[in-house]
Amino acid sequence: MAQAAKPMTKTQLVAALAEEMGSDKKSAAAALDAITNIVTREVSGGGAVTLPGIGKVACRARPERMVRNPQTQEMMKKPADKQVKVTVAKALKDSVNN
């Protein structure tokens, strides 16, 4: 099995985005930051954001539940919390397997 490549850094992503947009890195960085801010604001407020062709980022509420402490094996109650869930778009999944 081939070793996976390192994830693209923000600097590399900004450079690639600038090239794809035919723009400068400053504009690309501003666009990336704007998208990040919008997704963060919507998801932290309990909403969801669909990034076309990429997937959906959503906030999911988890109820109070019993969990086991792995060190002591003791069962304890974990309070309700929220979790961020990313659902990958079918088009992206299909492009990886072709």
Reported as a single tens digit per residue, the pLDDT across 18-71 is 999 999 999 999 999 999 999 999 999 989 999 999 999 999 989 999 999 999
pTM of the model: 0.74
Report the alpha-carbon distance of residue 13 to residue 47 in Å, rounded: 26
Q: Which residue has the higher pLDDT, 48 or 3?
A: 48
- Residue 2: the pLDDT is 52
Length of the chain: 98
Cβ neighbourhood burial of 14 (10 Å; 0-12, 13-18, 19+): buried
- Residue type at 22 in one-letter notation: G
